[in-house]
Amino acid sequence: MKTLFVISLLLCVSVSSQASFENEVEIEKRNYSCGQESLSGISFRYCYRNAEATNSNDIIYFFHGLGGSEETWFTQCLGTLVIQKWWQFRGYRPRIVAISFGPQWLLVNNKRFPLLPLFTRGIMPSLEKKMGGLQGGRRHLIGQSMGGFSAAEVALRNPGMFSRVALLCPAITTVGPFSSPVEIDDYIQRTGANPRLVKRMLKISRSVFINQKDWENHDPLRLLKKYDSSKRSKFYVSTGLSDGYGFLEGSEEFVDIAKDQSIISKWVPVPGGHCNFGRKATAYFIMGE
């Protein structure tokens, strides 16, 4: 089993062989059912792992990063797919569900984008019904970059819904869409972030959030400070030490607040930029190890 795992990883790492990469993805894609649906006038796409490819009733939801899709989980050969390979190595094959509202979205609840209640009250029950229900399993959540923001958002607003939440290079920042130019410049200098990437990040968030109050109602760092429930998720955060968006600072503050709130959390900073994260550590965290 170990030999097969190593061979599979080598195929994934051999990016010089485009044919091997495409074959790896195509083989994995056959294990998923994908589609598009519409609820309350809002379209979304999804992929979920077929029952015959699983051996656990656990359901793991995945939110992709900017520019990704519902297929990112099993097409990101050097990223998220490696997490799954570590699970397979340990004999853990959970049900996996990837959701997408397009290449750019945040799971929020405001007049512009009432996506969060649609996800928890509509999409989740619908997809879990397709998979035969929870069947005594646990729900976990993994969010990458932009999806990391969304993962924090839904987990903090719905205590107990997810057992373990992994935030991979999450788009959690100490600067907001309505911060002053001076605050933004200070953020760039303090974090060493790329000004172009910060500008891009703020442009996206300004298109989502209506005003400062709306932003404060959704800021994960503020939500975490008010996260008071006996039904608490366990959080894992992993970010590159040279993240070009400056997400390392927000990740560290998230973990510090979690510890102050006596919330069980794991902090795994790794070398590299955006969006690097600990693959093996993420896999083992979700498994409870």
State yes or no: pLDDT of 289 exceeds 90. Answer: no
Torsion from C-alpha of 235, 238, 242, 245, nearest 10 degrees: -50
For the chain, the C-alpha Rg in angstroms (whole number) is 18
- Domain carrying residue 53: 2-287
Are the CB atoms for 88 and 96 separated by under 8 Å? Answer: no
For residue 17, the model assigns a pLDDT of: 56
Are the CB atoms for 220 and 197 separated by under 8 Å? Answer: no
Q: Which percentage of the chain shows pLDDT scores above 90?
A: 84
Q: Per residue in 41-69, pLDDT tens?
A: 999 999 999 999 999 999 999 999 999 99
Section 158-182 average pLDDT: 97
Question: For every residue of the chain, which 3-state class applies, written as one string?
Answer: CHHHHHHHHHHHHCCCCHHHHHHHHHHHHCCEEEEEEEECCEEEEEEEECHHHCCCCCEEEEECCCCCCCCHHHHCCCCHHHHHHHHHHCCCCCEEEEEECCCCCCCCECCCCEHHHHHHHHHHHHHHHHCCCCCCCCEEEEEECHHHHHHHHHHHHCCCCCCEEEEECCCCCCCCCCCCHHHHHHHHHHHCCCHHHHHHHHHHHHHHCCCHHHHHHHCHHHHHHCCCCCCCCEEEEECECCCCCCHHHHHHHHHHHHHHCCCCEEECCECCCCCCCCHHHHHHHHHCC
Nearest partner of 81 among 13, 3, 134, judged by Cα = 13
Q: Per residue in 235-262, pLDDT tens?
A: 999 999 999 999 999 999 999 999 998 8
Q: Which percentage of the chain shows pLDDT scores above 70?
A: 92
pLDDT grade for 4, boundaries at 50, 70 and 90: very low
User: How many domains would you assign to the chain?
Assistant: 1
CATH number where 249 lies:
3.40.50.1820
**Please, which residues have CB within 8 angstroms of residue 63's CB and are 6 or more apart in sequence?**
98, 99, 107, 141, 142, 143, 144, 146, 147, 148, 150, 151
**Please, which residues have CB within 8 angstroms of residue 85's CB and are 6 or more apart in sequence?**
5, 8, 9, 12
Q: Per residue in 80-123, pLDDT tens?
A: 999 999 999 999 999 999 999 999 999 999 999 999 999 999 99
Are the CB atoms for 98 and 144 separated by under 8 Å? Answer: no
Q: What is the mean pLDDT of the chain?
A: 92
